[in-house]
Each structure stands twice: as structure tokens, then as C-alpha cells.
Amino acid sequence: MPRLAANLSFLYQELPFEARFAAAAEDGFAAVEYLAPYACEPGWLVEQLRTHGLTQVLFNAPAGGCSRAQVHAAWDEGWRGTACLPGQQAAFRYGIDLALDYAQALNCRRVHVMSGTPSAAEAGDRLHWLRQLEWAAERAAAQPQPVTLLLEAINHTDMPGYWLHTQQQAYAALQEIGHPLLALQLDFYHCQMTEGNALAQLKRYLPTGRVAHTQIAGAPGRHEPDEGALPWKALLQTLDQAGYDGWVGLEYRPRGSTRAGLAWARHLLG
């Protein structure tokens, strides 16, 4: 059956971040993901993973910023990546190198690279987006342990104006760049919200061999997958039948306690 990873930015919010590793391990997870490791020293994170027997399977490249201080402030300032924004090339490149350093330290093989949100101040540029992703993939390929960089389509209800919002847009970019270290992060929640047919999209893109990571949440509430319209059983079965060897990140806001809300997934956890 598909392997589940706990997203520590969404699950266990009833606990401080440093306590979430132990909680995930106690609930039977073997792997974790979260949005940003940059507030923590890599050595501390490695120690958390080692102590609790966890694998780090994903995190995001910085949302913006050209220095550690700017990276820390970027999300709250509204940055959601910089890849499509020509005026942000320095921030994009700084962020990719920082993310790749963390990926090496944490032995993490997948990094999500956010595309950015064009605004009145700066329009998005498709050619620039493609060239930046290509540059990043080359940097990833030069690492001692190669890292796959992921593109995730995000819905416009949660993230208005976000550049990358359909699977087709992401897949076309991958095809055009043609780099083996660029792949899809198929978040079923965003897919269901935007395209209304997460199962059909999975069946379309899984056979391409370019889906390297998936995430799940019920739609439209973004709570546990057993609430709402997402066909979660069929999605997991489809991954299973295809021999998908990636992870499924549980990226939802629990209705109540995280542990109680894991009932739907209990049979899939250790």
C-alpha cells in the first residue's frame, strides 16, 4: 500500500514544532515533510529524524529572499516562490542553493520549488520560469546526492493568482525543459479544487512516470480525506496498483486532534 508521510506544518499543530517528530513516529509514520526547514539548524533536524527513526521526504525551497533573514520573513510578507518573476532571479538562485544544502544535510531527495504569484508590481514570464527551473535542475544534478525538484499546481481559492495552477501547465513545463530531475508533485486537494477530477488527473499523469510525490486532503475543507468529495480510496488504490514508490504526504488541517483524525489511515500506518 502507498507509504504515508506526516506533513508537520499541517498535522500536530496542537504541539510545538519540535514535539511533532516524536508524535508522528508514535503514530506509526516512517517519514515526514514540512514546508520550510530554514528556521532550524540542519544538525538539529538531522538529530530529530535520527532519534525518531524518520525519513525526510520533502520540503520547500524558500518562498523568497536573498539572505537568511529575508528567507525567514518571506512567507509572512506574501512571497510564494519566485521562479516566474524575472526581477527575483537573485532570490530564486539564493533559495535554490540554500534548499540544496539542506537537502544534502537531511538526506532528502525531493524539494518543492514554488513558482510565484505575479502581481501589479511584477508580471510572470513563462520563458523565464522555464529557464530558472532548468538552471535549478542543473544545480540539483551537481549535488553529491541528486535531488528531484518538484512542481505543484496550487488552487486559486487558497492561493489567489498563483502562477502554476493546473497539472497540464506543470506537465507541459516538464516536457519542454526535458530535465530528468524535474517532476510533478500532485496534490490531490489542489487538483480536486481546481480541476474537479483528481482521480482522472492521477490516471492521466501517473503513467507518464513523472509523478514523484503526492499529497492528500479532503476537498473542499482541507481536513481529513474522509470528509468531502475526494475519492481517497480510489486514489490510493490507483497508486498501489501502479506500483507507485513515492510518498503520499498528509497535508491537511485535522478537524480536532491529529491522532484521533488518523482513523481513516490507521490501516496504512506502522
Ligand X SMILES: O=C(O)[C@@H](O)C(=O)CO
- Which residues are part of the catalytic machinery? 152, 251
193, 220 in Cβ contact below 8 A?
A: yes
Give dist(CA 157, CA 131) in Å, integer. 28
Q: Which of residues 233-262 bind Mg ion (CB under 5 A)?
A: 251
Question: CB-wise, 22 or 220, nearer to ligand X?
Answer: 220
Q: Which of residues 186-205 bind ligand X (CB under 6 A)?
A: 187, 190
Residue 255 CB partners (closer than 8 Å, separation 6+): 223, 224, 227, 261
Q: Which of residues 190-219 bind Mg ion (CB under 5 A)?
A: 215
**Nearest distance in Å: CB 12, ligand X:** 16
Give dist(CA 114, CA 226) in Å, integer. 28
Site string for ligand X, 123-162 (x = CB under 6 A): -----------------------------x-x--------
Q: Is 46 helix (H, G, I), strand (E, B) or coil?
A: helix
112 binds ligand X, rule: CB under 6 A: yes
Site string for ligand X, 47-76 (x = CB under 6 A): -------------x----------------
Strand partners, 29: none
187, 214 in Cβ contact below 8 A?
A: yes
**Nearest distance in Å: CB 144, ligand X:** 25
7 binds Mg ion, rule: CB under 5 A: no
Alpha helices in 121-177 (DSSP H): 126-141, 167-177
**How many other CB atoms are there within 10 angstroms of residue 221's CB atom?**
15
**Nearest distance in Å: CB 179, ligand X:** 20
**Nearest distance in Å: CB 59, ligand X:** 9
Give dist(CA 118, CA 137) in Å, integer. 22
Question: CB-wise, 210 or 253, nearer to ligand X?
Answer: 253
